[in-house]
Amino acid sequence: MKTTARILGVIALLASFIGTALGADYPQKPIRVIVPLAAGGGSDIFARMLQPGLQQDLGVPVVIVNVPGAGTAIGSRQVLTAGSDGYTVLLNHVALHSLYALGKTDFSYKDFAVVAGTTAVPNMIAVRADSPYKSLADLFGAAKEKPDSIVAGVNIGAPNHLSIALAAARGGGAKFRYVQTGGATQTVTALLGGQAAVGVLTTADAAPFRDTNELRFIAVLDDDRNADYPDVPTAKEQGVDVRMVLDYYWYMPKGTPQERIDRFADALEKLMNDEATRKSLKELLIDPTFTRGKDAEAALAAGLSATQDAAKAAGLGKK
């Protein structure tokens, strides 16, 4: 028995030494961050904002690689199948949930090693400034009174579509007529031109219209009011329990040594607490946040569940 105990003790010591070594010698070469969206978009801009700070902290080049296509599926899958050595990282948001909820991918966040969550960009429900709808009660009441008559401009199957579909379902079953407009720019054009009566914009996308008399924001789809839009009530304040936020998460392939995951997460946490970085993000109306470990896993689980509910509400969920 004593011999067995000694052997087990030696094995544990070796495992601890190997784990420490894996963390101590990382990183030693460039790290690739896969952004599964086109260059110049919000995700790409965010990644490149953090790039210099990550390089300084990690001591190696951090290379941003744009791999757009299939709603982020192509780039995400590239990380999913990459080597688990800590040198390939994925940056993605709620699109990872959406693809899985819609049955467009066979993998979810659970198939990656979660590094950390950084920043939150809430969605808001918007109407034109001269719209008769001044609250969710006004909007959903009208949509229930005359189902499928109010046009919602969305990108079918995208977060802006799923956000309003879930809010409508939880707001008493309001029925909109969903029309394909596209992303934020196209949705704003449709709202201002009268082709759509309601749409969804992130707080960042809505920034140019915050102090104009062109759009009215009637609900923030987050747990609390947004500091940049203090007069806009949350959906929850209006009796609709929904949170649909673009939370950015960083992932590595499954099997990546925990020490390497922690090293990269430490660098991200330091950046999210850096005053200059926080100021730059807030200038873009992006809320600098940080979560890791069990808190990150719990937030991702809640996000996936809400997205699956939203997909079902939109009639687009897995059969």
Residue 42 confidence (pLDDT): 84
Give tens-digit pLDDT for 17-36.
444 444 569 999 999 999 99
Banded pLDDT at 149 (limits 50, 70, 90): very high
Any idea of the CA torsion for 313, 239, 155, 112, to the nearest 10 degrees?
-70
CB 206 within 8 A of CB 228: no
User: CATH no. for residue 159?
Assistant: 3.40.190.10
Residue 86 DSSP class:
S
For residue 8, being part of any structural domain is answered with no
Banded pLDDT at 7 (limits 50, 70, 90): low
Residue 16 has pLDDT above 90, yes or no: no
Task: Specify the 3-state DSSP secondary structure of 67.
Answer: coil
Residue 12 has pLDDT above 70, yes or no: no
Residue 67: domain span: 30-121+245-313
Residue 15 confidence (pLDDT): 45
Residue 268 has pLDDT above 80, yes or no: yes
Banded pLDDT at 284 (limits 50, 70, 90): confident
Query: Residues with Cβ < 8 Å from 189, sequence gap 6 or more?
Result: 181, 195
For residue 2, being part of any structural domain is answered with no
For residue 162, being part of any structural domain is answered with yes
Domain match, 227 and 261 both: no
Please give the backbone phi and psi of residue 245, each rounded to the nearest 5 degrees, phi first. Answer: -130, 145
Please give the backbone phi and psi of residue 107, each rounded to the nearest 5 degrees, phi first. Answer: -135, 155
Banded pLDDT at 317 (limits 50, 70, 90): confident
**Does 4 or 262 have the greater pLDDT score?**
262
Residue 4 has pLDDT above 60, yes or no: no
- Residue where a domain terminates, one of 189, 208, 238: 238
Angle at the Cα of 287 (from 284 to 293), degrees rounded to 5?
Answer: 140
Alpha carbons within 13 A on the beta-carbon side of 299: 25
Dihedral sign, Cα of residue 276, residue 279, residue 284, residue 285: positive
